[in-house]
């Protein structure tokens, strides 16, 4: 079974470590955790429109180049334990070599704005998944935390054409509803929501309405279930593994098993001190990080086998579990990649 974790931010922590003299945290800390979790493909955020770590200015285009460079250096030093995934054949290579494949993503493209040469250069370095915004707005579009969102700007439309032209995957996880529909109506390729849940089960702007879920399925995309408590249930008392699987059930029942995957957004490596950095942004989407927790038994990537056991107990077949755990996302990546 190939497991795909469609969204994780710890490359920003890796870069923070690098700045503080620890050069191998990807290999030393994260690789063993990924192995224990059985992960094959890990999608890493290498920049975006939000602050996660003090001193890591990942909204700056040059810093994103440095973050990518740090990761590529670590991958090169891993002696074949990990590879960079940037073409269709890399998914097979990844299985044959039994390595961990990293794929690069950005969570908000404010650092690119209307300079598409930056986007093309990131592509050359391995960037394959792109979100237009985080919760706020930028020159391209507005995110889900914006009041009175207007959708894509003139540059936003050009940007998504360039993304399609290059063969990168568009991710709508933080989009406002008008931005979402502008993307849907002007993009041919399948799209993903890498880390969003069902709004009917947890009413938050980061979660997807039934209409959004249906159109992502119509376009043959995929939705990655987010394990963060604030997107699982409004009431923290109900945040548990069963409730998380309710979101998977819901998508399966609404559109079928082919459109659901996992994008856990594990935050266990984010020390308490640093979480304050993003409080302003999460408060804009109605979430107070001080009051929201995660599912106790599923707090880190190494605990993913617990989800598989629970899915079996809930009656999912082996084939369905394979689709949820990775096959669906791999299908979308391969459909979008040009080479
Ligand atoms: Zn996010």
pLDDT in tens, 136-157: 999 999 999 999 999 999 999 9
How far apart are alpha carbons 190 and 126 in whole angstroms? 19
Q: Is the pLDDT assigned to residue 197 strictly greater than 60?
A: yes
Beta strands in the chain (DSSP E): 3-8, 39-48, 82-84, 100-107, 127-131, 169-171, 192-193, 222-225, 260-262
pLDDT for the residue 21: 93
CATH number of the domain where residue 145 is located: 3.20.20.140
For residue 124 the two structure tokens come to 């050359």
Q: Is the pLDDT assigned to residue 276 strictly greater than 80?
A: no
Determine the angle formed by the axes of helices 241-255 and 304-313, rounding to 10 degrees.
60
Q: For residue 96, how far is its CA from the centre of ligand 1 (angstroms)?
A: 31
How far apart are alpha carbons 325 and 319 in whole angstroms? 10
Q: Is the pLDDT assigned to residue 275 strictly greater than 70?
A: no
Q: For residue 263, how far is its CA from the centre of ligand 1 (angstroms)?
A: 10
Write out the residue range of the structural domain in which residue 169 sits: 3-336
Q: For residue 4, how far is its CA from the centre of ligand 1 (angstroms)?
A: 17
Q: What is the 8-class DSSP label of residue 338?
A: -
pLDDT for the residue 144: 97
Q: For residue 97, how far is its CA from the centre of ligand 1 (angstroms)?
A: 30
3-state SS, one letter per residue, for 165-225: HHCCEEECCCECHHHHHHHHHCCCCCCEECCCCECCCCCCCCCECHHHHHHHHHCCCEEEE
Q: Is the pLDDT assigned to residue 164 strictly greater than 60?
A: yes
Mean pLDDT of the chain: 94
| Predicted confidence band of residue 272 (pLDDT cuts 50, 70, 90) | low
Listed range (54-63, 116-125, 201-210, 215-224) with the worst mean pLDDT: 54-63
Q: For residue 107, how far is its CA from the centre of ligand 1 (angstroms)?
A: 7
Q: Are 174 and 108 in contact (CB under 8 A)?
A: yes
Listed range (41-55, 137-151, 176-190, 265-279) with the worst mean pLDDT: 265-279
Q: For residue 14, how far is its CA from the centre of ligand 1 (angstroms)?
A: 17
For 129-156, give one letter per residue: b (16+ CB within 10 A) or e.
bbbbbbbbbbbbbbbbbbeebebbbebb
pLDDT for the residue 271: 60
Q: For residue 195, how far is its CA from the centre of ligand 1 (angstroms)?
A: 7
Q: Show Cβ contacts of residue 176 under 8 Å, excluding neighbours closer than 6 positions.
A: 133, 141, 142, 143, 144, 146, 149, 151, 205
3-state secondary structure of 160: helix
Q: For residue 134, how far is its CA from the centre of ligand 1 (angstroms)?
A: 7
How far apart are alpha carbons 58 and 40 in whole angstroms? 26
Mean pLDDT, residues 272-289 taken together: 73
Global pTM value: 0.96
Number of domain units in the chain: 1
Q: Are 107 and 174 in contact (CB under 8 A)?
A: yes
């Amino acid at each position: 079974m190939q497991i795909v974790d469609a969204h994780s931010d710890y490359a920003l922590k890796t870069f923070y470590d690098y700045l503080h003299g620890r050069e191998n945290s990807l290999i030393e800390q994260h690789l063993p955790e990924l192995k224990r979790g059985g992960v094959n493909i890990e999608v890493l955020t290498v920049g975006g429109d939000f602050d996660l770590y003090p001193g890591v200015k990942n909204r700056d285009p040059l810093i994103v180049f440095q973050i990518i460079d740090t990761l590529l250096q670590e991958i090169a030093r891993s002696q074949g334990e990990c590879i960079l995934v940037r073409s269709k054949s890399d998914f097979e290579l990844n299985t044959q070599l039994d390595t961990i494949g990293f794929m690069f993503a950005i969570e908000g493209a404010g650092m690119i704005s209307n300079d598409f040469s930056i986007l093309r250069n990131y592509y050359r370095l391995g960037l394959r998944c792109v979100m237009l915004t985080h919760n706020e707005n930028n020159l391209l579009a507005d995110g889900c935390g914006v009041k009175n969102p207007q959708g894509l700007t003139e540059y936003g439309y050009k940007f998504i054409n360039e993304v399609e032209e290059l063969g990168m995957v568009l991710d709508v996880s933080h989009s406002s509803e008008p931005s979402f529909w502008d993307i849907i109506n002007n993009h041919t390729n399948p799209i993903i929501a890498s880390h969003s849940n069902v709004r009917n089960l947890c009413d938050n702007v980061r979660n997807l309405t039934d209409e959004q879920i249906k159109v992502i399925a119509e376009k043959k995309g995929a939705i990655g279930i987010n394990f963060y408590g604030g997107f699982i249930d409004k009431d923290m008392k109900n945040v548990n593994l069963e409730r998380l699987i309710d979101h998977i059930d819901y998508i399966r029942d609404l559109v079928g098993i082919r459109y659901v995957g996992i994008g856990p957004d594990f935050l266990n490596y984010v020390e308490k001190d640093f979480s304050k950095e993003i409080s302003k942004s999460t408060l804009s989407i109605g979430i107070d990080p001080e009051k929201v927790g995660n599912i106790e038994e599923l707090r880190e990537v190494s605990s993913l086998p617990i989800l598989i056991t629970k899915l079996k107990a809930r009656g999912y077949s082996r084939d369905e579990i394979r689709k949820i755990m990775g096959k669906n996302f791999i299908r979308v990546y391969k459909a979008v990649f040009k080479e």
